[in-house]
């Protein structure tokens, strides 16, 4: 076995080398295709528009890097916010290092640029990077966060159950007067509900001047999530009395509540409500119904 180790190490190095060569060939292939595709554009605006479309639909790291090279060769990062688009694409593809390095290279970064990057990392549930970007934005760049900044950070906190950090972001929202924004309050309700602080979630909900469909859905969902199915159904009844029509999220939470309670008549009543509302064709609802009846 000991004698085989050098051969195994050599085989491993060969495999890495083959993958490296393969990635270079793939990159060169993409670069050649891009050169032919974008060569016909004589007008810069048309070229930028085509590049942005390609970047926004990019699903390959090699292709994204080839597009990046084309951008460097042909246009300016500020042209049509193409630099921000590239950064977002790197984030979506999981290339954190590339995304952050490119972001640092971008000239004239504004609040929209920072918010876009924070939102991207929030979708990947990377709270650490979200917080780092928030503090850099505030204390290095002197930019004041707005609701578009706060919502994804709160969402990232909810995603990883980081209540203490979420409370700090809540404090920033209060000091900045953001609690008048319905979407900000909805994100906080979701945070406190998922972290088991139902009293705080209820206080926020009751303090809203306008309660949207998302607000009601959040209250139904967090109570069901915490094992309080009857209270969740109670919020649904209040929502109907308030004249708010339900959607997929409402119904899926209701079906989960029925599953938790194990009351067949209630399940049949919700099923009837789904049929009357024409929601039976919805895939998520149909799947939830199958799960319910299977149990």
Instruction: Tell me the pLDDT tens digit for each residue of 107-125.
Output: 888 999 999 999 999 999 9
pLDDT band at 40 (very low <50, low <70, confident <90, very high): low
What is the 8-class DSSP label of residue 144? Answer: P
What angle is formed at CA 214 by the lines to CA 155 and CA 263, rounded to 5 degrees? Answer: 105
Same domain, 197 and 231: no
Same domain, 195 and 218: no
pLDDT score of 14 more than 90:
no
Residue 121: the pLDDT is 96
Q: Could you tell me how many residues make up the chain?
A: 295
pLDDT band at 30 (very low <50, low <70, confident <90, very high): very low
Residue 78 lies in a domain: no
Place of tokens 């989960």: 256
Predicted model pTM: 0.80
Residue 165 lies in a domain: yes
Residue 97 lies in a domain: no
Cα–Cα distance for residue pair 145/150, rounded to 1 Å: 7
Of 142, 173, 208, which residue is a domain's last?
208
> Which structural domain range is residue 240 located in?
211-295
Cα–Cα distance for residue pair 252/221, rounded to 1 Å: 9
Of 174, 208, 242, which residue is a domain's last?
208
Residue 283 lies in a domain: yes
What's the domain count of the chain?
2
Same domain, 218 and 260: yes
- The model's pLDDT over 60-92, given as tens digits with 9 standing for 90+, comes to 888 888 888 888 887 878 776 888 999 999 999
Same domain, 226 and 279: yes
Mean pLDDT of the chain: 85
Residue 117 lies in a domain: yes
Of 179, 208, 237, which residue is a domain's last?
208
All residues at 6 or more sequence positions from 227 whose CB lies less than 8 Å from its CB, including other chains:
260
pLDDT score of 279 more than 90:
no
CB–CB of 195/220 below 8 Å? no
Q: Is 62 helix (H, G, I), strand (E, B) or coil?
A: helix
Same domain, 202 and 215: no
Residue 49: the pLDDT is 81
């Amino acid at each position: 076995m000991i004698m085989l180790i050098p051969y195994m190490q050599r085989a491993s190095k060969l495999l890495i080398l083959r993958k490296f060569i393969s990635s270079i060939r793939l990159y060169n292939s993409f670069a050649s295709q891009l050169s032919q595709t974008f060569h016909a554009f004589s007008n810069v605006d048309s070229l930028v528009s085509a590049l942005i479309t390609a970047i926004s639909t990019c699903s390959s790291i090699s292709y994204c890097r080839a597009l990046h090279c084309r951008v460097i060769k042909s246009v300016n990062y500020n042209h049509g916010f193409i630099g921000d688009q590239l950064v977002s694409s790197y984030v979506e593809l999981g290339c954190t290092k590339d995304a952050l390095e490119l972001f640092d290279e971008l000239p004239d970064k504004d609040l929209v640029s920072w918010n876009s990057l924070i939102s991207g990392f929030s979708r990947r549930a990377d709270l650490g990077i979200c917080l780092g970007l928030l503090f850099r934005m505030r204390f290095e760049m002197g930019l004041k966060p707005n609701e578009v900044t706060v919502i994804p950070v709160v969402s990232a906190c909810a995603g990883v159950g980081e209540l203490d950090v979420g409370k700090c972001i809540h404090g920033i929202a209060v000091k900045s007067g953001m609690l008048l924004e319905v979407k900000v309050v909805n994100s906080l309700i979701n945070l406190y509900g998922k972290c088991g602080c139902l009293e705080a979630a209820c206080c926020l909900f009751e303090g809203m001047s306008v309660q949207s469909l998302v607000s009601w859905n959040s209250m139904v969902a967090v109570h069901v999530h915490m094992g309080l199915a009857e209270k969740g159904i109670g919020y649904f009844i209040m929502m109907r009395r308030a004249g708010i029509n339900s959607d997929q999220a409402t119904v899926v939470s209701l079906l989960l509540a029925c599953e938790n309670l194990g009351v067949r008549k209630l399940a049949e009543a919700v099923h009837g409500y789904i049929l009357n509302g024409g929601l039976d064709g919805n895939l998520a609802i149909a799947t939830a119904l199958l799960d319910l009846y299977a149990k």
